[in-house]
Structure 1
Amino acid sequence: MVNAQAARAPRTPWTAASPAACAIGRAATLALYDELALSPKPGLVTLTDRGSHDDMDARTFMRSLIALRNYFRTIAALGAARAPFDALERCGIDAEARMLTATGGVNTHRGAIFTIGLLCASAGALVAANRRIDAGRLRAELLERWGDALVARAVRPSHLPGGQAARRLGLRSASAEASLGFPVLFDTAAPALRDALRRGMPADAARLDTLFHVIGVLDDANLAHRGGLEGLRFAQRAAQAFLAAGGSSTSDGLARAQAIGRQFVARRLSPGGAADMLAAACWLQRIGASGSPGRVT
């Protein structure tokens, strides 16, 4: 969790260099690395595997992570300053431009810039108000402070492939998910990771099962864009079957996850939206907001 010294409301205005902003941002960067380092991960880039991607690898992701470090601190400070949504959106657009410059035009973290950026802003607002950070407060703060703007954003036509696929197929877009307070994150991903860690599962196994929990229920626009509705439903069924068979806790769990990965690659499926939810759940765990052991210092 954000340590006690960092969590005291500052008597001077917050900046991106404030201790709590640094702690919140550092947790975001580490959470994105948690997601990258997880392996196997069906269709997604890992430290040793490109998944279903020809245009990116782990080095691309690391360049993106380095380019985004200041963003998460900055948007936390904007949240502490009670900035309006358009200021958060401009900050995210600037971060996306830095990401694309660092990766040579490859989208590695657009979804995470949006999702984890909003969470960092909400955390900043809570800390600046001397309120404890937990999952319920984060969600409530997000909706109370920026909910109306998120609803308006969700009905805007999207120029991005995933958003267009979601609208065409009648799915819940990432913007719509945010306007509802990220239900898949708070109702599925965070509890799955918290409960797995409490049962004593190793961190990688807990994160892998969490990823499959998310794939099983999320309207993942990345999957819909790449595989249509059939590809999305195939991925959801595969994830649900993996968990029904015992997930990572079984002796053949890793082999089954790898087999699902091969099927995803054969179909060119990549659950990028689920990866963003996993990273967000890791962020919650790292700041101690999910009920799991975690501390950012």
Structure 2
Amino acid sequence: MGSRAAGGTVQDEALARAAVTALTEQLALAPKPGLPDPRDLSARATRLDHRALRWSAKALTPGLAAMAAAARRNGRPSPRLRAELGAIGRCAEHSLALTGGGHRGALWTLGLLVASAALTPGADGAEVAATAGRLAAHPDRGAPRRPSRGSTVSAKYGAPGARGEARAAFPHVRRALTALTAARRAGATETRARLDALLTVVSTLQDTELLYTAGPPGLRQVQAGARAALEAGGTATPAGAELLAALDDELREHAWSPRGSAGLLAGALFLDALPSVRVPGAAVSAGCAPPDRRAT
């Protein structure tokens, strides 16, 4: 019994580390249109310092491990598990605030996916996303009654928002996974494949952050720019790379940021890494890092 519990703890920590790795790899990706990346050392364009975001991402590890452990203990998507995940998530948000903030959208996405991966060990990305959808369908009865900015914008414009995305089993995370696979098979570098996956999300997501800052016309303009880069052959082609740079310039000029897309890309990178995360019962000592990811 003790060894099984220890194995579960190791797996919980491995899932949490994989999720934080996915988030930091998303942060390291460049050039991301309108989003923090290594070019933003002065935080001039996005108002979010890249180094500070990398630091605060590490604060998510204990909370994500606790979410995996809660899922493993409960054993199935249920109202009880949803309430427990909500309570853990609010504690994790407090830890984030103490380390500089950011990542609230990524915490929602990664928390549900980590918990779902713990519920379905060995499942592929689509199965994990489907489990996350069933889990998100349960209300979080402990959530604050005051509406968030995202939920207010969702109600105003009829956008699904973060909750709708999760309850639909993260369709944009799954589209990003498909785009990653297609770009790799076409011979794109890992960086270009990930940029194509990001643009795939941006091209169709009703991003509530963009709706708030740019309104529906601005959102459509950004979506069109992302589609144009993809239709030109993706960021691995000269034309696609040029259109990506133009979209980046446009977003930074207007101070628009597709933040919702960034969190969903992190979710896709996490699901993409799941085959390399050790399974329960593997011969691994506590504190051992998961196997190295594909180089970017």
TM-score normalised by L of structure 1:
0.84
Alignment partner of 1:235 out of 203, 218, 222: 222
Which residue identity is paired with 2:185?
Answer: R
Alignment-mate amino acid for residue 35 of structure 2: L
Residues 42 and 264, structure 1, Cα contact 8 Å, conserved in 2: yes
State the match for 1:41 in structure 2. Answer: 32
Q: Which residue of 2 aligns with 1:141?
A: 131
Once residues 231 and 137 of structure 1 are traced to their aligned partners in structure 2, the CA distance between those partners, rounded to angstroms, is 34
What is the rounded CA distance, in whole Å, between the counterparts of 1:36 and 1:141 in structure 2?
Answer: 26
One-letter amino acid of the counterpart of residue 187, structure 2: G
Q: What aligned pairs does 1:23-172 form with structure 2 within 5 A after superposition?
A: 23-49=14-40, 50=43, 52-54=45-47, 56-82=48-74, 84-103=81-100, 106=101, 108-127=102-121, 132-144=122-134, 146-150=135-139, 159-172=147-160
The letter of the residue matching 1:217 is T
How far residue 11 of structure 1 moved from its aligned partner, in angstroms, is: 5.7
Relative to structure 1, the CA distance from residue 194 to residue 51 in structure 2 (aligned partners, 3 Å threshold; closer, same or farther) is farther
Work out the CA distance in 1 between the residues paired with 2:49 and 2:70: 32
Q: 1:251 aligns with which of 238, 242, 247?
A: 238
Cα contact 1:189–1:211 (8 A) shared by 2:
yes
CA change 1:77–1:14 in 2 (3 A) is farther
Q: Secondary structure at the match of 2:31?
A: coil
CA deviation profile, 1:167-216 (whole Å, cap 9, x unmatched) = 11111111111111111212x11111122223331111001011110000
Partner of 1:292: none
Q: 1:263 to 1:148 in 2, by over 3 A?
A: closer
Cα distance in 1 for partners of 2:236, 2:133 equals 36
Aligned counterparts of 2:241 and 2:146: Cα–Cα separation in 1 = 37
**Matched residue, 1:288:** 275
**Contact residue 287 and residue 296 of structure 1 kept, 8 A:** no
The correspondence for 1:209, drawn from 196, 200, 203, is 196
The 1:10–1:85 alpha-carbon spacing in structure 2 relative to 1, beyond 3 Å, is farther
Question: In percent, how many aligned pairs have the same letter?
Answer: 31
Distance 2:187 2:72 in 1: 35
The one-letter amino acid of 1:115's match is T
1:198 & 1:121 partners in 2: Cα distance? Answer: 30
Structure 1: which 5+ runs fail to align? 1-8, 290-294
Q: Measured at CA, do residues 157 and 235 of structure 1 come closer, stay the same or move farther in structure 2, by a change above 3 Å?
A: farther
Q: Distance in 2 between matches of 1:251 and 1:10?
A: 56
Q: Deviations over 1:254-273 (max 9, x none)?
A: 33212211100112110001
After TM superposition, the score normalised by the length of structure 2 is 0.84
Using the TM superposition, give the Cα deviation of residue 159 of structure 1 relative to its aligned residue in structure 2, in angstroms.
2.4
Task: State the alpha-carbon separation in 2 of the partners of residues 10 and 140 from structure 1.
Answer: 31
Aligned to 2:238, the other structure's residue is in SS state coil
Give structure 1 regions of 4+ aligned residues with deviation exceeding 6 angstroms. none
Distance 1:198 1:72, change over 3 A: farther
Kept in 2, the 8 Å contact 1:215–1:236? The answer is yes
CA RMSD, Structure 1 to Structure 2 (Å): 2.5
CA distance in 2, matches of 1:37, 1:177: 24
The answer (yes or no) to whether the contact 1:80–1:126 under 8 Å persists in 2 is no
Q: What residue is the counterpart of 2:284 in the other structure?
A: none
Q: Secondary structure at the match of 1:247?
A: coil
